[in-house]
Amino acid sequence: MTQQLTRQDPSTWVERLARFGYAAKGVVYGIVGLLAAQAAFGAGGKTTDTEGALQTVLTQPFGKFLLAAIALGLLGYALWRFVEAIKDPEHKGTNAKGIFQRLGYAINGFIYAGLAFSAVQLILGTGGGGGGNATQDGTAALLSQPFGQWLVGTVGAFIIGMGFYQFYRAFTAKFRKEMDLHQLSETEKKWVLGISGFGTAARGVVFCAIGFFLIQAARNNNPSEARGLGEALQVLSQQPFGKWILGIVALGLIAYSIYMVLQARYRKLKTN
């Protein structure tokens, strides 16, 4: 019995970290959405990105402790994405579609590992945020390469494709298969699926905006036209009926954060 429990410990540990990671990701997006909603409805706030959300956490009472917990959670989320990419517990396979999905998991893992590192830098006082500048710096680095404009344009098209995939997931409720909702009532299930779909669609809008700006940067060979999350939200607010658009997207990001917390609770996690 002891040996059996010992063999189960690693997978249990990975699962707990993964669930903690989903919750931490939800907190980050919730802060981004809440600040944007406040800006849209004239209650203060600001448009910012995920690193800006981390800076906001740092300024709160017990900010370093809270940020350390979020950093640990984001590392757990990154670890889970690497497990999905390498061990393939969901059996995505090695065909073109499976490889594409697993590559996406790996990229996601690196992104959130980088965000966790940014959180640690903020705790140590060695980081200063600058998500928008990082986007433009990365775009400039790509543009300086051979066929740089094509590279940036391809990345932009890929991100727009991810945005449309979010729409597909939202309108088909594809994520329902990923969650164990049998213990909920029908009314509760409808709320869970409605909130999750709204949040996923809002994230799709943000992806499409970021991808569009990357394509513009590629067309004009101008990295300053690239926009990260916070700047994309700012541009949305400057459009006709911009406050309403920003408000809807902000509420969607809050819904997405709730969806991540629901994932932490109800997602079916296969670690083997």
- Quick: pLDDT tens for 131-162: 446 788 888 888 888 888 899 999 999 899 98
Residue 194 has pLDDT above 70, yes or no: yes
Residue 201 to residue 253: CA distance in whole angstroms? 9
Label residue 3 by pLDDT band (50, 70, 90). very low
**Torsions phi, psi of 94, nearest 5?**
-120, 15
Residue 192 to residue 201: CA distance in whole angstroms? 14
Is the CB of residue 192 less than 8 Å from the CB of residue 264? no
Residue 259 to residue 253: CA distance in whole angstroms? 9
- Quick: pLDDT tens for 91-135: 777 787 788 888 888 888 998 999 999 999 999 987 654 444 678
Is the CB of residue 264 less than 8 Å from the CB of residue 19? yes
